[in-house]
Amino acid sequence: MTLWLLVVAVIVPTVFLKKFRRWLSSMTGAVWILVGLTVMSLLGVMIGQNLSPDAYTHRYGQVVGSFVYRSGLSDIFTSWYFLLLVAVLAASLVACSFGRLRKLAAARGAGRASRAGSLLLHLSMVVILAGGAVTAVFGFRYPAPVYLSAGDEMEVPEGGFTIRVDAASTEFSDEGVIADYFSDVVVIEDGEEILSHRIEVNSPLVHNGVGLYQHEMLPSATSVLEVVFGIVVLTEDGELPLATIAVPFNEEFELPGTDITLKVLEFLADFTYDIESRTASLISLSHRNPAVLVRISEAGSVIGDRWIFADVQTHRDDTGLPCRLFLFDYLPDYERGLTRFELSRQPGTPLLFIGFAAMSLGLCLTFWTRTGRPSTPRR
Amino acid sequence: MQGGTDMLFFWVALWCYLAATVGASVYAGTRKDGVRTIVFFVTLLGFASNTGALVMRSVLSGHPPVTNLFEYLSFFAWAIVLGFLIIWRKKGLELLTAFASTVAFAMMAMASLFPTDVSRQLIPALQSYWLWIHVSMAIMAEAAFAVAFVASLMCIMGDRRGHTRLPNRNLLDSIAYRAIGIGFPLFTVGALFAGAVWAQRAWGTPWSWDPKETSSLIVWLVYAIYLHVRRTRKGSIALTSGLSVLGFTLTILTILGSKFLGGLHSYG
């Protein structure tokens, strides 16, 4: 709707107002439009885009922060005034191209290549803007990232198909840094598996016009390979010195020299606890507040299950336990990692790339042919 | 992994560029051909050393030396000197070309402030042949803008101080225009077009108003303004020179911006 209003707002004065049309096709008009776009883009970069209202208030104070948010400066590239200026630019390019077409028809000899290049350059920008408009009207971008694990299935919005993730894995180099991450997916349409594809960062899956793009891979938020505890064993003679001990996930582990057994039952990457229902759960998928549920046994009988945190301050209830524990470290489980996809459909992209290709050709003709050279002297 | 011999070559290049800058200042005062010849050979030595550092780093890491700010700025300095060496023999531009090393030295000095570690492993986002196309073309374009910047700065200095010893301002203006005439298409194709194609493959959208993308668009718009203003009657040399200087200043801010503004381009 906004787009159509903008188009009408530009087309009507262009058609009916001769002065405005002349200004649009003039060099001065072009310069002022470009200056306007530059200033708005600068504001966009300097202010910071799509932050929360509180972030602007914190950054610029109550009055200015509120103004930034309410005036649309916080999302300037979709604001009506930025889009209006882009529409004016498109009108200017079309008006200017008519003049260039007349000059091209009149040109003779070596100047024709440069003039043709200049015309192509200006028209290609209209094609690029049209590509952007097509995506804005008919495109779609899933508003939130999608996280899936191996074995998960998801119906792809606006795609008319389902994907199943068979593997989501991360590979590491000898230096221990991430070398690659990938997701093996199967596309299911009308109940039939029709293709399988390995999605990597620069190798998306595009099916029925909808693309799935690999953005990142998180280690599992609910399992780890191994937990390293800091532990102080309490004996009748007092405390033993602090030691660290690695315990495999979900396996019973007897502390050497004691009859104490530990078993890590659960892992939560970002722990939260609901007092009413007395249940622990994940507040997010990031590893911000990791916690493990440990079953502590002594001489074969269970003493108790305790949530253990990295922050020692959170350990209050150690009464009755034969040891004091805190979460020192853990080995993340990348095998059962969470793959993060971005979903989008960009129907204007082919038009955009055709425009860019034409623009490249136009630039070469304009600047790199013999007649594209500068005129001197000047003031 | 820390760099080895490549860092030795880097430092030799940096000191050569500094020495050539001092030599260019002496030449500006004395105008002795002998001094200019020395400046030329010192610049050439710096350029050879800079080339050596980049080649060694590529061999050591197994990928183009453009994956962090240290590498980008070293490569950028190399491309700037190359740009000036191409026009070294042009008559009337002796003083302009003598200062080839000055901008290159500034870039090398900035590069030295960033981490110099070499990693053989590229992060998944950079594992694409588009890395080489996108970044190297952007660097070449920005090097052309650097040549235009020095020419335009000399134009402005000539206007302000009435220097008669500076090169002819029409010639400087013409050099700035030609440099921008090379840089602008390269920037459009390399930084914007190739960047959009790569972004579509990697992120699912050719344009996301990321700070680096928007800053690059701003640079493009300023040079587009330059090219339009130059064709109007009001477009004096002083105004176009100012726009050229502004364009290059914004280019530098764009290069460094991803470090401070974050966004999808914040790798190095």
Nearest to A72 by CA among A34, A40, A32: A40
Highest mean pLDDT among A25-34, A308-317, A320-329: A25-34
Which domain-ending residue is among B117, B148, B182?
B117
Which domain-ending residue is among B82, B117, B152?
B117
C-beta atoms of A346 and B206 within 8 A: yes
User: Which of A125, A212, A367 to probe by mutation at the B interface, max B CB count within 10 Å?
Assistant: A367
Work out the minimum CA distance from A249 to partner chain B, whole angstroms. Answer: 29
Residues from chain B contacting residue A356 (CB–CB below 8 Å): 192-193, 196
Nearest to A342 among B120, B128, B204 (CB): B204
How far is A69 from A76, CA to CA, in rounded Å?
Answer: 10
Judge if B133 and B216 occupy the same domain: yes
**Would you give the DSSP letter of residue A177?**
S
Nearest to B193 among A213, A343, A360 (CB): A360
Judge if B75 and B203 occupy the same domain: no
Using the structure block, give the residue that is written with the tokens 């609910």: A222
- The pLDDT of A31-59, averaged and rounded, is 92
Query: Residue A169: is its pLDDT beyond 90?
Result: no
pLDDT at A374: 53
Residues from chain B contacting residue A368 (CB–CB below 8 Å): 181-182, 185
Query: Residue A318: is its pLDDT beyond 80?
Result: no
Neighbours of B8 (CB within 10 A): 14
Residue B114 vs residues A284, B216, B268: alpha-carbon distances, Å: 34, 22, 9
How far is B263 from A97, CA to CA, in rounded Å?
Answer: 36
> What burial class does residue A236 get, using C-beta atoms within 10 Å of its C-beta: 0-12 exposed, 13-18 middle, 19+ buried?
exposed
Nearest to B204 among A45, A204, A356 (CB): A204
Is A362 strand, coil or helix?
helix
pLDDT at B38: 93
ipTM of the complex: 0.90
C-beta atoms of A211 and B229 within 8 A: no
Q: Which residue of A has its CA nearest to B258?
A: A45
Domain extents in chain A: 2-139+353-372, 146-218+336-345, 224-332
Cis peptide before A377 (omega within 30 of 0): yes
- The pLDDT of A352-371, averaged and rounded, is 89
Q: Name the domain count of chain B.
A: 2
Query: Residue A332: is its pLDDT beyond 70?
Result: yes
pLDDT in tens, A263-306: 999 999 999 988 888 889 998 888 889 999 999 888 888 888 88
User: Which of A23, A28, A31, A82 to probe by mutation at the B interface, max B CB count within 10 Å?
Assistant: A31
pLDDT at B100: 79
Query: Residue A317: is its pLDDT beyond 60?
Result: no
Query: Residue A379: is its pLDDT beyond 70?
Result: no
Q: Which residue of B has its CA nearest to A181?
A: B124
- 10-residue stretch averages of pLDDT, chain B, 268 residues long: 79 96 90 90 96 94 90 96 89 80 94 88 86 94 96 83 72 92 96 94 89 95 95 81 96 87 68
Is A306 strand, coil or helix?
strand
Query: Residue A314: is its pLDDT beyond 60?
Result: no
Work out the minimum CA distance from B221 to partner chain A, whole angstroms. Answer: 6
Neighbours of B45 (CB within 10 A): 17
Which domain-ending residue is among B92, B117, B142?
B117
pLDDT at B268: 52
Residues from chain B contacting residue A143 (CB–CB below 8 Å): none
C-beta atoms of B181 and A368 within 8 A: yes
Strands A323-332 and A301-309: unpaired
pLDDT band at A99 (very low <50, low <70, confident <90, very high): confident
- pTM of structure: 0.86
pLDDT at B233: 67
Judge if B61 and B113 occupy the same domain: yes
How far is B6 from B116, CA to CA, in rounded Å?
Answer: 10
φ, ψ (nearest 5 deg) of residue A14: -65, -40
Tell me how far apart the 2 most distant CA atoms of chain B are, in Å: 58
Residues from chain B contacting residue A82 (CB–CB below 8 Å): none
Query: Residue A321: is its pLDDT beyond 80?
Result: no
Judge if B138 and B266 occupy the same domain: yes
Compute and round to an integer the Cα radius of gyration of chain B.
19
Query: Residue A316: is its pLDDT beyond 60?
Result: no
Nearest to A378 among B127, B170, B214 (CB): B170
How many helices (H) and strands (E) are present in chain B, helices listed first? 10, 0
pLDDT band at A319 (very low <50, low <70, confident <90, very high): low
pLDDT at A303: 84
User: Which of B118, B168, B184, B188 to probe by mutation at the A interface, max A CB count within 10 Å?
Assistant: B188
Nearest to B196 among A45, A356, A373 (CB): A356
Contact A347, A130 (CB under 8 A): no
Judge if B265 and B135 occupy the same domain: yes
pLDDT at A178: 84
Contact B220, B188 (CB under 8 A): yes
pLDDT in tens, A190-225: 889 999 999 998 899 999 999 999 988 888 888 899
**Percent with pLDDT over 70 in chain A:** 92
Judge if B185 and B67 occupy the same domain: no
pLDDT at A102: 84
pLDDT at A324: 81
- The pLDDT of A334-359, averaged and rounded, is 91
pLDDT at A241: 82
Domain interval for residue B140: 126-268
pLDDT at B120: 79
Paired tokens of B103 = 């901008």
- The pLDDT of A67-76, averaged and rounded, is 91
φ, ψ (nearest 5 deg) of residue A253: -135, 120
- The pLDDT of A100-111, averaged and rounded, is 79
